[in-house]
Chains A and B, each alone.
Chain A
């Protein structure tokens, strides 16, 4: 497991327990996803600008330029920051996951509460050999707790480790 710790801003000492980062390639995955969302929006803004917006007092190129800037920020700047917000710590009896840029959430899932575990892999993740580990519990707001950006082999190893612990809990 990677041992480097991540600096925490805005959180207190107790919350700064050792947490492992996701695989660095996750930044690329996040970037490609952002691109897939931003590109159509930018194109739509340009079309809008050439078409209906020409008849309104909105200055030419104002709308597509804004959308382009926002899109560039989402693709170039945000993925790395979002990546840094993610982290996880695998304990003896529970998994702690940290996430969220705007609202920072830390979720603790005791292994004894895990109903079943998924290792999911989308097309972009597959290209980089990454996977998402999903812990399902019987809860409501924490019914499915995802942990993306894990090396596929690591995700499967974690799943197997957790599975053994669930079985022990049942006995």
Chain B
């Protein structure tokens, strides 16, 4: 270290290049369209435009870099930025939840890192230093962790991180295996997007490419063999895409016990390091896809408060693990182990009247339509019948259980989920009864938690009405009791 962190300093000079490389293509994107719509001479005009864009972009990047400074002062981090409108942000150390260090490929080539200072507030961009020297990033993290006491040697601090007890790690064999289960058809979407781009910029004229004769010729070539081959190709590519994506994301996955939480390191190209603060974890979620579950593989994640919002407030703690690897991590984070399946209370049988009978009714109508109006209504009838079978099977998997400290909710048919909701993490308790539910004496009960997803929540659907009322009161009582004990402990 040539200078102390307490002096105001700028971001690493590599930022200039990275930002410039990022900003110029954005400016050019509009220009490409311009050039393509113009005639051949448009290309020379485009070159001029490109040169101007590169110059203006460079100037802008240089100015914003020049006007951005950060300083680690006594007990606080100060960030000043803005070309014209200046902004000064002071983040006290004791408000800092975590300093996340992320290293993209370019950052790794230049020995730098992006630092995200997380305070648990709602704003997503609370304090982001993109990018500074890696050594500075680590020094800053250690400084904040020690409450401002300067550390002499940075290497020592790195060694501390290395010595943390490992809770979960994935070797290359496990990683590749988990990739095989990460079957993904995302490449189809990517290909579709690429085609659309080509079309938009007018680089390919589909009308010229696909003519009446060619379409006819293609129709003649379609047969069972070709369809089979194409399907095999799509599935093969899907598997490869899954492996590539998983390896890129989870390479070198390591979960260690840090001072205030669980530290997760992972990534092949982009190295990321995140601490999941234990006091801020709200709910634990164990989930598993249909094939992986058959082989006994599960994923564990924690829903946290004020975590990286990109991932919807959910942080993966173990992406591909055996149940006996997951339970110690749960215990380390202060969550109880789920009880055996036999202790889960199911949903009353009459819930099926609400969930499946509307589908069956529609299926019967569609079947009638198939005979009387158009045979194609039969497809709809079959689909509705399949949907009702799905609903019945899913109903069997839905249940809940309670132990001394938490509520457990299981659900989902293909992708099965098990939520662990500690009583004291409840925000509100919500009972809902729709018209059909009232007729059947059913009710749905939801324990709302901080950072929960609206799409997938541990809602207990179609409980017996009386039971749901009693359970709501019991959960409220347990909430107050646990709050009192937890408060006493701190």
* Interface of A toward B, CB cutoff 8 Å: 10-15, 93-94, 100, 102-110, 112-113, 137-142, 145
Known A-B contacts A14-B469, A105-B431; A110 and B452 likewise in contact (beta carbons under 8 Å): no
| A-B residue pairs in contact (CB < 8 Å), sample of 23 | A10-B438, A11-B433, A11-B438, A14-B470, A14-B473, A15-B469, A102-B435, A103-B432, A103-B435, A105-B431, A107-B431, A108-B429, A110-B483, A112-B483, A137-B448, A138-B427, A139-B450, A140-B450, A140-B457, A141-B448, A141-B452, A142-B430, A142-B448
Against A, the Cβ 8 Å flags (1 = close, 0 = not) of B445-488 are 01011111110010000000110011011001001100100000
Known A-B contacts A108-B472, A139-B450, A140-B449; A12 and B466 likewise in contact (beta carbons under 8 Å): yes
B487 to chain A, nearest CB (A): 8
**Which residues does chain B contribute within 8 Å of A139, judged by CB atoms?**
427-428, 448-450, 452
From A10, A107, A110, A145, B433 is in contact (CB under 8 Å) with A10
Bound CA–CA A104/B431 (angstroms): 8
From A14, A110, A141, B476 is in contact (CB under 8 Å) with A110
* Residue B426 interfacial (CB < 8 Å): yes
**Which residues does chain B contribute within 8 Å of A11, judged by CB atoms?**
433, 438, 465
B470 touches A141 (CB 8 A): no
Inter-chain residue pair count (beta carbon < 8 A): 93
A107 touches B469 (CB 8 A): no
Which partner residue on chain A sits nearest B306 by CB separation?
A138
B100 to chain A, nearest CB (A): 21
* Residue B305 interfacial (CB < 8 Å): yes
**Which residues does chain A contribute within 8 Å of B466, judged by CB atoms?**
12-14
Instruction: Please name 8 further chain A to chain B contacts, defined as beta carbons within 8 Å, in addition to the given A106-B432, A108-B472, sorted by A numbering.
Output: A103-B432, A103-B435, A105-B431, A106-B431, A107-B429, A140-B448, A140-B453, A140-B454
B429 touches A104 (CB 8 A): no
B312 to chain A, nearest CB (A): 10
A106 touches B427 (CB 8 A): no
A15 touches B431 (CB 8 A): yes
Which residues of chain B from 198 to 249 have any CB-CB distance to chain A below 8 Å in the complex?
A: none
B441 touches A12 (CB 8 A): yes
B433 touches A93 (CB 8 A): no
Against A, the Cβ 8 Å flags (1 = close, 0 = not) of B301-322 are 0000100000000000000000
Bound CA–CA A12/B442 (angstroms): 10
Which residues of chain B from 400 to 441 have any CB-CB distance to chain A below 8 Å in the complex?
A: 426-435, 438-439, 441
From B427, B435, B483, A142 is in contact (CB under 8 Å) with B427
**Which residues does chain B contribute within 8 Å of A109, judged by CB atoms?**
428
From B428, B435, B439, B446, A137 is in contact (CB under 8 Å) with B428
Bound CA–CA A12/B467 (angstroms): 10
A168 to chain B, nearest CB (A): 11
B469 to chain A, nearest CB (A): 4
* Interface of B toward A, CB cutoff 8 Å: 305, 426-435, 438-439, 441, 446, 448-454, 457, 465-466, 469-470, 472-473, 476, 479-480, 483
A116 to chain B, nearest CB (A): 13
B268 to chain A, nearest CB (A): 33
A41 to chain B, nearest CB (A): 25
Bound CA–CA A102/B476 (angstroms): 25
**Which residues does chain A contribute within 8 Å of B473, judged by CB atoms?**
14
Bound CA–CA A102/B428 (angstroms): 21
Which partner residue on chain A sits nearest B439 by CB separation?
A10
Known A-B contacts A14-B466, A141-B430; A110 and B451 likewise in contact (beta carbons under 8 Å): no
Bound CA–CA A100/B449 (angstroms): 22
A110 touches B479 (CB 8 A): yes
B430 touches A107 (CB 8 A): yes
A110 touches B426 (CB 8 A): yes
**Which residues does chain B contribute within 8 Å of A94, judged by CB atoms?**
476
B433 touches A138 (CB 8 A): no
A19 to chain B, nearest CB (A): 13
Known A-B contacts A113-B427, A142-B427; A103 and B433 likewise in contact (beta carbons under 8 Å): yes
Bound CA–CA A157/B441 (angstroms): 37
**Which residues does chain B contribute within 8 Å of A137, judged by CB atoms?**
427-428, 448, 450
B441 touches A102 (CB 8 A): no
A104 touches B433 (CB 8 A): yes
Known A-B contacts A10-B438, A11-B465; A142 and B480 likewise in contact (beta carbons under 8 Å): no
Bound CA–CA A105/B483 (angstroms): 25
**Which residues does chain A contribute within 8 Å of B457, judged by CB atoms?**
140-141
**Which residues does chain B contribute within 8 Å of A103, judged by CB atoms?**
432-435
Bound CA–CA A139/B450 (angstroms): 4
A60 to chain B, nearest CB (A): 32
Bound CA–CA A102/B427 (angstroms): 24
Q: Pick the 4 closest A-B CB pairs, nearest first.
A: A139-B427, A142-B428, A14-B469, A139-B448
**Which residues does chain B contribute within 8 Å of A142, judged by CB atoms?**
427-428, 430, 448
Bound CA–CA A100/B430 (angstroms): 13
B432 touches A105 (CB 8 A): yes
Which partner residue on chain B sits nearest A104 by CB separation?
B433
B432 touches A104 (CB 8 A): yes
Which partner residue on chain B sits nearest A91 by CB separation?
B476
**Which residues does chain B contribute within 8 Å of A14, judged by CB atoms?**
466, 469-470, 473
Bound CA–CA A142/B441 (angstroms): 24
A106 touches B430 (CB 8 A): yes
**Which residues does chain A contribute within 8 Å of B441, judged by CB atoms?**
12
From A12, A108, A113, A141, B454 is in contact (CB under 8 Å) with A141
